[in-house]
């Protein structure tokens, strides 16, 4: 994944389940094929298997637990997400915050299963800490902008630039994604210019009338 990476989080939106999930995955797959930009999806746990069978794009779990097989009722261990066909996982999304100890356990479990890891963070300092853990990606998402319709790239470029700088200072291998309010090719362009390797977004694609059109716009200025 050296080209820019766009990851679409389906959350638990109704538009991201069942046929809706197919529709978005098809759009992602088509745009990835046409443009060469890597576009991944993070569907609900229950759609991972179907997505992994039908689409040759990165498939992420929305959360993994750093536990193994055993007595963990209601959990989603990394090994199980891998069995379903996931190629990676979000860890510590702002809607599923974890203790530092659990973030590390989830990351170690992801590595053991060969899953690409993305640790989500809320500010520059936590981005530095997450980078020090050594994941593949850190995704910086200012909580106050998530789902706000206001793009972090336009409203707070300093937090993106500061996060990239802080992350690389701790770990020069880590890649940074920008998230929160990302909705257009301009947002993507600004994020890349500020040193990011891509973006993490959700509603602007998942709830779009025409997801393919939104994705084409997102990649248009790369």
Binding site for a second copy (CB under 8 A): 9, 11-14, 17-18, 42, 44-46, 48-49, 62-63, 67-77, 79-80, 83-84, 90, 92-101, 103-104, 107-108, 121-123, 125-126, 128-134, 146-147, 170, 202-203
Residue 208 known to bind ligand: no
State in Å, rounded, how far the first CA of the chain is from the last one.
Answer: 15
What span, in angstroms and rounded, lies between the C-alpha atoms of 155 and 157?
A: 6
Q: Shortest gap between Cβ of 88 and a second copy (angstroms)? A: 14
Residue 88 known to bind ligand: no
What span, in angstroms and rounded, lies between the C-alpha atoms of 73 and 89?
A: 20
Q: Shortest gap between Cβ of 182 and a second copy (angstroms)? A: 15
Residue 6 known to bind ligand: no
Q: Shortest gap between Cβ of 220 and a second copy (angstroms)? A: 26
Q: Shortest gap between Cβ of 31 and a second copy (angstroms)? A: 23
* 141 labelled catalytic: yes
Nearer to a second copy, 25 or 219 (CB): 25
Nearer to a second copy, 132 or 192 (CB): 132
Which tokens go with 109? Answer: 């479990």
Nearer to a second copy, 78 or 219 (CB): 78
DSSP helix/strand/coil, 15: helix
* 93 labelled catalytic: yes
What span, in angstroms and rounded, lies between the C-alpha atoms of 91 and 109?
A: 11
* CA nearest to 197, candidates 24, 43, 7, 9: 7
Residue 106 known to bind ligand: no
Residue 169 known to bind ligand: no
Q: How far is CA 20 from the centre of its chain?
A: 19
65: CB partners within 8 A, 6+ apart: 72, 75, 76, 77, 78, 102, 105, 106, 109
Q: Which is the catalytic residue, given 93, 144, 158, 209? A: 93
Q: Using CA of residue 89, residue 92, residue 93, residue 95, what is the dihedral sign?
A: positive
What span, in angstroms and rounded, lies between the C-alpha atoms of 149 and 165?
A: 26
Residues in binding site: 9-11, 146, 181, 202-203
Q: Which residues are catalytic?
A: 93, 141
Residues in binding site for substrate: 9-11, 146, 181, 202-203
């Amino acid at each position: 994944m050296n080209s820019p990476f766009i990851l679409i989080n389906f959350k638990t939106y109704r538009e991201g389940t069942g046929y809706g999930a197919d529709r978005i995955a098809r759009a992602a797959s088509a745009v990835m094929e046409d443009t060469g930009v890597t576009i991944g999806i993070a569907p609900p746990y229950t759609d991972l298997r179907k997505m992994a069978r039908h689409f040759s794009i990165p498939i992420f779990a929305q959360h993994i637990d750093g536990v193994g097989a055993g007595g963990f009722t209601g959990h989603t261990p990394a090994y199980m997400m891998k069995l379903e066909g996931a190629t990676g996982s979000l860890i510590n999304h702002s809607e599923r915050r974890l203790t530092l100890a659990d973030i590390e356990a989830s990351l170690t479990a992801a590595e053991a299963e060969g899953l690409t890891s993305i640790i989500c963070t809320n500010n520059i300092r936590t981005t530095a800490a997450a980078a020090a853990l050594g994941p593949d990606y850190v995704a910086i998402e200012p909580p106050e902008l998530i789902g706000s319709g206001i793009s972090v790239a336009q409203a707070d470029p300093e937090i993106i630039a500061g996060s990239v700088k802080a992350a690389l200072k701790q770990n020069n291998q880590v890649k940074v994604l920008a998230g929160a309010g990302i909705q257009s090719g301009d947002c993507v362009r600004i994020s890349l210019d500020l040193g990011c390797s891509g973006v993490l977004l959700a509603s602007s694609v998942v709830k779009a009338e025409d997801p393919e059109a939104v994705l084409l716009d997102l990649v248009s200025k790369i």
